[in-house]
Every structure is written in structure tokens, then in C-alpha cells.
Amino acid sequence: MSRAVMSCLSPSPSAEPAQRALERPAPTLRAPVAFGVPCGAGAGVPGTELGPAAARLAGLAAAFEHLDLPFRDDGDLTPEGLAPHPRRAALGRHAEIIASWIRAAHDHSAALLQQGQCPIMLGGDHALGMGSVSAAARHAREQGRRFILLWIDAHADFNTPETSPSGNLHGMSLQFLAGHPDLANLLPGRNFPALRMSDVHLIGARSLDRREREAVAEAGIRCHDMRAIDEFGVCALLRGILDGLDPAETHVHVSFDLDVVDPGLAPGVGTPVAGGLSYREAHLLMEMLHESALVRSVDFVELNPMLDHAGQTARLLVDLAASLFGKTIIRR
């Protein structure tokens, strides 16, 4: 039996009665605004800096036009200059460069959220989530909303400068967001709250370092690994996260690393790991998140067109973005 079928048969809220589906309120769509952050300095393999351009070439704007949404693309950000900070060498590889990019991502995301729009950050590597997520958490606090982070990724990105085997900052993003004191120097002068780790959900994990695995458990991050998805299905897991959350009082940020998808479907990533989400599991996540009306900010990161096969992963990114903003097989 396929995992998709198991998901629908799971003895949980996943087998939703038709009447409940009819009573579900229509999602409130916020105006999506994309912006590119062409930085790959946080990754170990070059190429993710080309990700925003590849997503556009794959038809991102056209996908939103078909949805009749007031989509806007603000183009690629340009950092004002290198961001100075102390002990830069000890923080990780290319820390000074990455600090400038995450500052730009933070400021642009914050401005869009203040305008009532839904930022869609196109990466670039996952270190850039330090900027977009911190801005979203800051905005949620200002609005008095609970902040929920869905880190959809094959990796936990919960290493520190001391525990990271590679020194690549895209593997430390969640530690930064948790308020690790050493990493705080990457984004000085921005007043944002450290995330409450019980409100962080790691979805699709299947490659964690030993010390990182221990740190995730100690921090209380909700880790929904591929074993859990195999066993319970996407429906049950996501409903367990979202049920009871009020869109008026909650800000959900979706940070989607394309390496969460099985590399047979998404070869264009720098750190592929076998056994990832299927095509339908990834789309089902996006479709359910759209229906929840909870999502207020989004990242799509780690697209590496230098490793892609004829644009396959870039087209997947576009299709997933469309599902997140309302594209369905049939009208529901």
C-alpha cells in the first residue's frame, strides 16, 4: 500500500468527513510578493546563488497569473555592503558575506509584512532563513500573534560553530533562530525574538549529525522525520500540527528546502538524501497549508540549477508554490 493511501486511511483527523470539508472557511489570500536572495555562500556546493533566476525561468510569474492573484516580483536583493561583526572567522565559512545577505533578507521581509503582504523568499541557501524567519517572528510579536515555524527539510540545520562538521552556515540556521549567543552576531541591530522551540516543527528530516540529533531532542523541537511520515502519512501529521490554530491569532512561516523531496524528483540540490517526500506528499503539504489560511510568509531555498536535470527541480519549486497559493486538482 502506498504512503499516500496510508495517509488517507490513517485513524486520525486525516479521514475528514465531507461535511467538515464543506464547512471549512475559505482561505484568506494575502498578496504574494517574491524576492530573490542570490547567495550560496552558506552552502558547501556552489550554484544555489543561481536559484532565484532558475525559478523565474521555470515560470513562477505565469503560475501565479493562472491563479488570478495580485503577484509581484521585487527582483533580487543587493546587500548594501559587508556586515562587520566580531569573531567572524569563528562563526563559520563566509560569515561576513552571509551576514550582509541575511540583513537584506530580514529588512525586505519585514517591510513586506508591515505592508500586509506575504513575502516569498527565493534562495539561495538555507542560511538565508536566518533573515526571513527572524523578520517574520519579529512581525508576529508586534502583531500579538503566535509564531509557528515549519522547517521542511531533510536536515535539521541545528549545528553550532563548535559542532558543525563542515562549518557551513546553512547547517546552523535553526540554532541562530533559537538564540545561540555566538550566532547572534550575524544580525546585529534587529530586535527579534528567539523562537520557542516547541513551536518549531521539523518536517521530512532524514539526515542529522549525532550531536545535532541530541541537541534537537534537548531543545524540544518537534521532529516529524520520514519514519513518522511513512507510518502516519502527511495528512495526520500536518493536521496534528495545525488543528486548533486560529488564523487571526497565528503566523505560520513555511521554510521549504527542496532537498526534503526525494532526489529522484528534485536532483537540483546541493545536499541530496535518498528517501525523501514523494511528489504527491510534497503537494499535499502545500495544498493543506493553503486551506489552513495560516501561512503568512514563505521561503523556497537550496535550488541549485547547476545540479538540476533540464530544469526539473526548478519546475517543481514553481508547482509547489502554486499549490501553496491555491492551485488544486479540483475545486474544493
140, amino acid identity = A
DSSP state of 193: P
Confirm whether 107 is a catalytic residue: no
Transcribe 1-33 into DSSP letters. Answer: --HHHHHHH-SSTTS--HHHHHHSPPP-PPPEE
96 vs 188: CA distance, rounded Å: 12
Nearest 5°: the CA angle 260, 262, 268 is 80
Active-site pick, 108, 126, 139, 201: 126
Residue 319 is a catalytic residue: no
Determine the Cα–Cα distance for residues 219 and 207; give it in Å rounded to an integer. Answer: 18
Which residues, 6+ apart, have CB-to-CB distance to 223 below 8 Å?
156, 202, 205, 216, 217
Pairwise CA distance, residues 195 & 211, whole Å? 21
Read off the C-alpha cell for 220: 524540544
Q: Tell me if residue 259 is catalytic.
A: yes
The active-site residue out of 73, 212, 257, 319 is 257
**Cα–Cα distance list, 292 to 54, 85, 234 (Å):** 29, 40, 14
| Secondary structure of residue 237 in the 3-state scheme | helix
153 catalytic? Reply is yes
3-class DSSP assignment, residue 52: helix
Q: Which of 106, 108, 139, 155 is catalytic?
A: 155
Please indicate whether residue 209 is annotated as part of the active site: no
User: What is the CA angle 111-117-121, rounded to 5?
Assistant: 75
Asked if residues 36 and 52 have their Cβ atoms less than 8 Å apart, the reply is yes
Is residue 199 annotated as a catalytic residue, yes or no? no
Is 85 one of the annotated active-site residues of the chain? no
Which one of 209, 212, 262, 302 is the catalytic residue?
Answer: 302
Residue with cell 530580514: 106
Considering the candidates 170, 180, 224, 283, report the single residue annotated as catalytic: 170
Q: Is there a catalytic annotation at residue 125?
A: no
Active-site position among 49, 157, 212, 281: 157
Tell which phi-psi region holds residue 91, choosing left (phi > 0), alpha (psi between -120 and 50) or beta.
alpha
What is the gyration radius of the CA atoms in the chain, in angstroms?
18
Exactly one of 49, 125, 153, 209 is catalytic; which is it?
A: 153
Query: Given 212, 259, 262, 299, which residue is catalytic?
Result: 259
What are the cell numbers at 294?
495560516
The catalytic residue positions are 126, 153, 155, 157, 170, 257, 259, 302
